[in-house]
Amino acid sequence: MQTQDRVKVKQVTEAIAASQKHLLSIQQPDGYWWAELESNVTITAEAVLLHKIWGTDKTRPLHKVETYLRSQQREHGGWELFYGDGGELSTTVEAYMALRLLGVPATDPALIKAKSLILQKGGISKTRIFTKLHLALIGCYNWRGLPSLPPWVMLLPDNFPFNIYELSSWARSSTVPLLIVFDRKPVFEIDNPINLDELYAEGVNNVKWELPKNGDWSDIFNILDDGFKLAESFNFVPFRNEGIKAAEKWILERQEATGDWGGIIPAMLNSLLALKCLDYDANDPIIYRGLKAVDNFAIETENNYCVQPCVSPVWDTAWAIRALIDSGFPAYHPAIVKAGEWLIDKQILNYGDWNVKNKQGKPGAWAFEFDNRFYPDVDDSAVVVMALHQTKLPNEALKKQAMNRALNWIASMQCKPGGWAAFDIDNDQEWLNSVPYGDLKAMIDPNTADVTARVIEMLGACNLSIQPDKLEKSLDYLINEQENEGCWFGRWGVNYIYGTSGVLSALALINPQKYRPNIEQGAAWLVKVQNSDGGWGETCFSYNDPSLKGKGDSTASQTAWALIGLIAAGEATGKMPFDSIEKGVNYLLETQQADGTWDESYFTGTGFPCHFYLKYHLYQQYFPLMALGRYHRIKK
């Protein structure tokens, strides 16, 4: 081995050791890993509104929210969907609303600056439906400008062409409660009420309280909405009370013992709003637990208080295990054993909403969060299976049975086109994204390349099998999803770098000779989009503008994904792009901090493309460790 190579191997070995040390230092006593899941400030703003409506604001440290919101305002005056986006209208309006609710006057310099950006972008009338909803709850927007949601939707049978189970799990768990809220159209009395008249660009007296039109076939929904509103005005909504009761029952049945609903803040906030509309008391155990669950998503420091949209302990733990073992950690190390046993304890053995459309499957999956028995997901389950496969646990027989149960569940969740979605099977009625209520374009959960790749990688990495025709169909689906440039779309991570890395990792393990051209095209695209500093990065704007595929400032997590994909491709084809890989490794070595960590400001996780993004604070730790570990393996 040349001296230069020996130096590089030594540097990589030291970087790996430092990263491993850091990961071990933050492992929780029960064995899991869990770090902040950061989103935009609307989640915190809506939590402030919720507590104001329930009158529980005095029992929470909401005064610290003001400090948090001020710290997140950018020089342009607005608040952002993701780091560096230039300021987003709805996000800025909700932050402004929260500060006003917290007693900040409209004359405050920060709000004057925010007001300027808001008016420049069209004001409240141009905000998203959910922003208008939250404003309507306190009289700052008129309910006439919001779509109607007839509660009789709850009564549509499972075999009807449309029913609530045709909505994605996150849309369903958030929308069912809103059937009650939109029916009641409440304007809640709060202490120190506010108005936001100053944020209407056209002047509050000139607002047309109507749904926006698209000028295409989807405007038919506006005509239907007019009909729904006419029926409401005459109190002639069929099966109204029955629908409300069905929605209430559905909500109560899906509350976890811990108070959570759906494992996500929107479902939790909306459920609590619905029950408020039904005159539940703040001291009712159901409400008390629900509010406590919201508290459990909060992060409080000496000066700040914010609320996460979700928590990710299962996801973080599985990836941390994989990164540690991939980087040379013993599979039987006590930390690994404790984490593996914690994961097995988190396996969900109950039937959930997925069972409505999947009558064949049996429970055995994992969810993202601590508690979410109704909504396990394919992506988490596949990663957990791979993590468990790498461990050596005291009870190997239990581990194998847990893995087999998960495999059978995942196999039963395959969609008709051949791929896998996150939470449901064949949840793909695209027209739902065109209804006025669905302006986030996230009403469905169709199969995607990244989730499908994860399943195929699991099969190859763990030497597991499903029916040959099912596997062949899934591979055909993946190949058909490859873009002209050679890359793949990333639904749950930003964006094409994430998708391409995942698919290359999958194809490299399943018949790489057959798919060699596809693998080489994907690897070539990754090499092509590498930045001059040796790293990789991709902006969230690539979801809005395909010309930005693979373009953006380098980040540790996206560089790691690219390296993982290139190494997998090189091992599969025998054509290792060492020059590109070495530059990427150098980027990680040069950006690692003294304590073994990496830092990045950019959001590299995706909630809803174009509308909601996430920063997983552990992505910049375990993915670089995994990449360096795999590099070290090929350099031995």
Residues serving a catalytic function are: 379
- Distance set, CA 466 to CA 203, 378, 459, 505 (Å): 61, 15, 8, 18
Tokens at residue 281, please? 């008391």
Give the C-alpha separation, 174 to 168, whole Å.
10
Sheet architecture: strand order including 605-608: 37-38, 612-616, 605-608
> In degrees rounded to 5, what are phi and psi of residue 413?
-95, 5
Amino acid, res. 264 = I
To the nearest 10°, report the CA torsion of 3, 9, 14, 17: -160
Tokens at residue 108, please? 């405050």
Tokens at residue 456, please? 């195929």
On whether the CB atoms of residues 422 and 378 are closer than 8 A, the answer is yes
Classify residue 335 by its DSSP letter. Answer: H
Which among 565, 472, 485, 481 is positioned nearest to 511, based on CA atoms? 472
Which among 626, 503, 629 is positioned nearest to 569, based on CA atoms? 503
How many residues does the structure list for the chain?
Answer: 636
The neighbour count for residue 182, using CB atoms within 10 Å, is: 24
Give the C-alpha separation, 176 to 163, whole Å.
11
> In degrees rounded to 5, what are phi and psi of residue 547?
-70, -10
Q: Which residue has tokens 């990449």?
A: 627
On whether the CB atoms of residues 118 and 96 are closer than 8 A, the answer is yes
Give the C-alpha separation, 84 to 74, whole Å.
9
Q: 270-285 in b/e burial notation, b at 16+ Cβ within 10 A? A: bbbbbbbbeebeeeee
Tokens at residue 632, please? 């070290």
- For residue 26, what are the contacts with CB-CB under 8 A and spacing of at least 6? 33, 35
Give the C-alpha separation, 305 to 482, whole Å.
43
SS3 assignment for 167-233: CCHHHHHHHHHHHHHHHHCCCCCCCCCCCCHHHCCCCHHHCCCCCCCCCCHHHHHHHHHHHHHHHHH
Helix boundaries (H) for 254-329: 265-277, 285-296, 313-326
- Distance set, CA 50 to CA 56, 128, 269, 489, 510 (Å): 8, 19, 7, 36, 49
